[in-house]
Amino acid sequence: MLNLFSDSPLLASCQASLMLIFGVIMLLNARRSRPNLQWHPEYRQLLTKAYDNSPYAKGNKL
């Protein structure tokens, strides 16, 4: 476990650099692994019809 509150400025800057590098790597991996979802038109139409017929679309609460 990293000691984030260190008295040594050199150690604190190294820890900050490591955290920054780790964060960039995590963001790049999350962006690359995100699936590109493209729904089929029939499925989108089915969802739209189901929502339009729901009580929430009409303003009623269940």
Over residues 16-34, the pLDDT tens digits come to 899 999 999 988 887 666 6
How far apart CA 2 and CA 17 sit, in angstroms, is 12
pLDDT of residue 39 exceeding 80, the answer is no
Work out the pLDDT band at 61, boundaries 50, 70, 90: low
Q: What is the pTM for the complete model shown? A: 0.43
45 close to 52: Cβ distance less than 8 angstroms: no
Residues with Cβ within 8 Å of residue 4, at least 6 apart in sequence = 12, 15
Per-residue pLDDT at 42: 86
**Tokens 């260190």, residue located:** 6
Kindly report the average pLDDT of the chain as a whole number. 77
